[in-house]
Amino acid sequence: MYCLLKCAPLILAVAVCHGWLFGDFVGKQKELNEISLWPLPQKFQSSAVAFKLSPASFQIVHAKQSSAGPSCSILENAFRRYFEYVFGDLKKHEKSRKKVYDSDLVELQVWITSADPECNGYPSLQTDESYELSVDESSAVLKAANAWGALRGLETFSQLVYEDDYGANNINKTEISDFPRFAHRGILLDSSRHFLPLKVILANLEAMAMNKFNVFHWHIVDDQSFPYMSGTFPDLSQKGAYHPFTHVYTPSDVKMVIEFARMRGIRVIPEFDTPGHTRSWGNGIKDLLTPCYSGCSPSGTFGPVNPILNSSYDFMTEFFKEISTVFPDAYIHLGGDEVDFSCWKSNPDIQKFMVQQGFGTDYSKLESFYIQRLLDIVAATKKGYMVWQEVFDNGVKLKADTQIHVWKERPQYQDEMAKVTAAGFNALLSTPWYLNRISYGQDWVNVYKADPQNFTGTDAQKKLVIGGEACLWGEYVDATNLTPRLWPRASAVAERLWSDKSVTDVGNAYNRLAQHRCRMVKRGIPAEPLFVGHCRQEYMGL
């Protein structure tokens, strides 16, 4: 065991097993120098033996035995990014080789062990993100099956480096063996209620990588605006965006987001939510939405997608053909939430259809009728789909690999998780993680305490929980307040989804998270404070 003290007992020498730190709630100056990992790795051991790192002599390199090399742009990119995180502004350091001390760590070797490092592919739900990190005399070794695991390990490595009282970079002798508890760890951003400039999306992908999030759920369009520029149906954004030029995502914008995410091991899953939440779609596609009636004549307003017209399904076929080629992930989120039936009820053609189909007055049957056909359309594009829980609750026939997204507060999410998994479907939890719902005080604690497997069920059921997502709905959020509202509260979700379920000590979490937050600030992310205190380097932007 490495829980030994190699040096004489110093106040600063902390025997750390399994990553537990000792410290009081407020976190004294001394602890700013100690290890501040977030999320906490599965297995972590370190000793008090410290090595120095110098920007002039330290390098991150491909191990000789690695299946990845200089052609792996994901790793090349990451090496530079993490070097900058550790040492700060590169331009400040000369490249001269200075004297190397005996206790210098000169390199981190990155060793990809699988034959295929996956450098040119995209991450998926099945991706192995595990890694092993060993920091010892003169060189450190990061072993991972593929580039994705290496990315996770590089982030952890960067979190192990700390500055001593003289400002020198140090890292302790460490052994880490790590892997995520859940494979789907996501953040939802809403770019319809408010347009989100590219800069803010990219900065948050950067912050996600610092927290080992691996899914960006892009709720890209909704009632209020349609910023997605479609090649097949340009009128959608022409007529549906807040502004057809300044408030849209061009095809190259979308490509940029996808590639920026890929470089960080983050999947991009777009959500095109139907049949509800589609008001902005109607501006650009005639007859797509149901005309609502006031008595015998149209009232002038529109409701959900019109499920009785073939043109609706023809449109969806063409549209999702495009989506399936633009977005490389194996999954698309199809929405299916909060369908308001009043407009359908008012429309005489729909009333006739209901009678024809034998649906009676049960409009959820009509909703299911639509969703069923939509799912078949999407399945034909060879994509899997995620849907909000209503689709499951309404008894729609779903493919076996459908992922059900639990978000409602009633019924209790624990009961819903049990129901979904009992029916044999993968479940994703978001209910306790609606971070758009702000409140005064340290609300990260309740976020941290929620556990996706906290429901009554068999082990087989629990295995069907693939993870969860922190959601930042956009009614009150745009670029001016998104980043501080999301971070570090989303970090609490990050640890719940990555670390072992036994990692629940709030006091310990506070200490680590406060330091992790200062680290995000240092790296240019305006993560807001948890509580009273300070960071060595306060946020310099405005």
Partner 1 sequence: IVKTRGCDGYPDEDSDESYNLSVSEGQAVLRSVTVWGALRGLESFSQLVYQDDYGSYFINKTEIVDFPRFAFRGLLLDTSRHYLPLHAILKTLDAMAYSKFNVFHWHIVDDPSFPYQSRTFPDLSNKGAFHPFTHVYTQSDVMRVIEHARMRGIRVVPEFDSPGHTLSWGKGQPNLLTPCYKGDVPSGSFGPVDPTVDTTYKFMESLLKEVKFVFPDSYVHLGGDEVSFACWQSNPNVRTFMEKMGFGKDFTKLESFYMESIMNMTAALNRTSIVWQDVFDYRERIPQDTVLEIWKGETYQAELSRMTQAGHRVLLSAPWYINHISYGQDWRNSYAVQPQNFSGTEEQKKLVIGGEVAMWGEYVDATNLNPRLWPRACAAAERLWSDEEKTLDADLAFPRLEKFRCELLRRGIQAEPLFVGHCKHEYDGL
The answer, yes or no, to whether the previous bond of 529 is cis (omega within 30 of 0) is: no
Answer yes or no whether residue 540 interacts with partner 1 by CB under 8 A: yes
Q: Which is nearer to partner 1, 328 or 524 (CB)?
A: 524
Answer yes or no whether residue 474 interacts with partner 1 by CB under 8 A: yes
Q: Least distance in Å: CB of 485 to partner 1?
A: 8
Record the tokens describing residue 176, joined without a space: 């880490």
Answer yes or no whether residue 531 interacts with partner 1 by CB under 8 A: yes
Q: Least distance in Å: CB of 490 to partner 1?
A: 14
Query: 311-334 in b/e burial notation, b at 16+ Cβ within 10 A?
Result: ebbebbbebbeebbeebebbbbbb
Answer yes or no whether residue 88 interacts with partner 1 by CB under 8 A: no
Residues 454, 431, 447, 513, Cα dihedral to 10°: 110
Answer yes or no whether residue 338 interacts with partner 1 by CB under 8 A: no
**Could you tell me which stretch among 12-20, 116-124, 305-313, 529-537 binds partner 1 (CB under 8 A)?**
529-537
Binding mask 224-243 for partner 1 (x = CB under 8 A): xx----------------xx
Q: Least distance in Å: CB of 497 to partner 1?
A: 24
Q: Least distance in Å: CB of 487 to partner 1?
A: 9
475 assigned to active site: no
Q: What one-letter code names the amino acid at 379? A: A
- Asked if 333 and 271 touch (Cβ cutoff 8 Å), the reply is yes
Answer yes or no whether residue 532 interacts with partner 1 by CB under 8 A: yes
Q: What angle do CA 52, 105, 143 make, to 5 degrees?
A: 130
Answer yes or no whether residue 539 interacts with partner 1 by CB under 8 A: yes
- Of the candidates 63, 86, 15, 41, which has an alpha carbon nearest to the alpha carbon of residue 176? 41
Compute CA 221 distance to the chain's CA centroid, rounded to the nearest angstrom.
Answer: 18
Binding mask 14-53 for partner 1 (x = CB under 8 A): ----------------------------------------
Number of residues that bind partner 1 (CB under 8 A): 49
Contact partners, residue 522, CB within 8 Å, separation at least 6: 535, 536, 537
Answer yes or no whether residue 166 interacts with partner 1 by CB under 8 A: no
Answer yes or no whether residue 393 interacts with partner 1 by CB under 8 A: no
Q: Least distance in Å: CB of 195 to partner 1?
A: 6
Q: 3-state secondary structure string, 500-542?
A: CCCCCCHHHHHHHHHHHHHHHHHCCCCCCCCCCCCCCCCCCCC
Q: Which is nearer to partner 1, 471 or 527 (CB)?
A: 527
Residues forming beta bridges with residue 268, ordered by sequence position:
216
Answer yes or no whether residue 525 interacts with partner 1 by CB under 8 A: yes
Answer yes or no whether residue 245 interacts with partner 1 by CB under 8 A: no
- Asked if 247 and 227 touch (Cβ cutoff 8 Å), the reply is yes
Record the tokens describing residue 439, joined without a space: 């409140």
**Could you tell me which stretch among 51-59, 190-198, 286-294, 445-453 binds partner 1 (CB under 8 A)?**
190-198
Residues 433-452 close enough to bind partner 1 by CB under 8 A: 436-442
Out of 246, 310, 356, 502, the only residue in the binding site for partner 1 (CB under 8 A) is 246
Angstrom distance (rounded) from CA 313 to CA 319 = 10
Main-chain phi, psi angles of 320, to 5 degrees: -75, -20
Angstrom distance (rounded) from CA 478 to CA 480 = 5
Answer yes or no whether residue 529 interacts with partner 1 by CB under 8 A: yes
Active-site entry in 137, 163, 259, 338: 338
SS3 of 148, please? helix
Q: Least distance in Å: CB of 383 to partner 1?
A: 29
Answer yes or no whether residue 247 interacts with partner 1 by CB under 8 A: yes
Residues 483-502 close enough to bind partner 1 by CB under 8 A: 483-485
- Asked if 275 and 367 touch (Cβ cutoff 8 Å), the reply is yes
Task: Enumerate binding residues for partner 1 (CB under 8 A).
Answer: 193-195, 197, 199-200, 203, 224-225, 242-243, 246-247, 436-442, 474-481, 483-485, 521, 524-534, 536, 538-542
- The residues that are catalytic are 338
